[in-house]
Amino acid sequence: MDKINIRDLSPGEIEDFIAHLGKEKYRARQLMKWLYRFNVASFGEMTTLSRELRGHLEDTARLDGPEIAKIQTAADGTKKVLFHLRDGLHIESVLIPGRNHWTACLSTQAGCAMGCRFCFTGSLGFQRQLTPGEITGQLTALKFQTPEGPDVKNVVLMGMGEPLANYDHTVKAVRIMTDDAGMGLSNRKVTISTCGLAPQIVRLGRDICVNLAISLNAPDNERRDYLMPVNLRYPLETLLKACRDYPMPGRRMLTFEYILMAGVNDSPADAEKVARLLNNLHCKLNLIVFNEFPGTEFRAPSPEAVAAFQQMLLRHHYTSIIRASRGSDILAACGQLTGRPNGL
């Protein structure tokens, strides 16, 4: 029988597992610190646990996680990290430089089934869900096995896959990341991105409190139907109702991501429609210039078109930021990840 992977267990499940072995529940907290604060590779290194308990753990459990296979560095300093998984598949994460910190962009699926037309990842199809340990394992590997690791302060679940289509594993991974005995991240430092799975947005708001980013990309259903097949299931009216009901405490705002594609959704009139669409929503907009990839039908708009779109949103008093495209020269930017060793 295959041993259980401890990295796939939530804090409560680790407590239950330890209790099942006949040991005190507080040992679970010790075990988690060894996993997430020291990133040990074996139970034998967990010296605060008794030799007997370490022996039981060796017999019944394992500590698998993704292994770094390759790191590429872009001209702007962004780093794309290729991970090898236990079954031979590959996924990618990205380390994004900030002024005095780094942001880790993690994957939640191998491939993606959403089929967004502007996304290279989606054009390659879906392979499988990542386990909680494969999601958190990207972060522990980045934090402990790269020079930038100690300065990783923010986590965005915006890599390969749709996080809310892998709902249970994504939520469990976030709980591990934000648990004091786990990675100890503040939930203010964690963002989940979604293409618009409305029922899961409602559920997420009840289950955990993290930042939410919604991939919008069109001001009306007709164009969003074409760009994002998910809109056929959850049109804008349904999506925005779920967004209005999502709890954002204090001064925190929802984020709407809007990828600008030349001649598709980038006119000032489109910006006017977006402003009306998001009326009375406490939100900000990230404007992303389309990142081209081999075989795509879309092109990036001109800087003038991008600036005009932003100005229209600012005129309507929206916080609107033109997000710098990071790592596009190594296919590490938004929508460009493939999980392939050659990147293509």
Active site residues: 92, 334
The helix or strand, by DSSP H or E, that contains position 321, with its residue range, turns out to be strand 319-323
Could you tell me which residues come within 8 angstroms of residue 20 by beta carbon, excluding any fewer than 6 positions away? none
User: Long-range contact list for 84-88, CB < 8 A, 24+ apart?
Assistant: 85/110, 85/134
Q: Which two tokens stand for residue 17?
A: 């597992």
CA distance 333 to 328: 5
> What number of CA atoms fall less than 13 Å from residue 261's CA on the CB side?
21
Radius of gyration of the chain from Cα atoms? 21
CA–CA distances in Å: residue 280 to residues 15, 96, 316, 318, 333: 44, 32, 11, 11, 31
Q: 166 with 172: CB under 8 angstroms?
A: no
Q: 18 with 27: CB under 8 angstroms?
A: yes
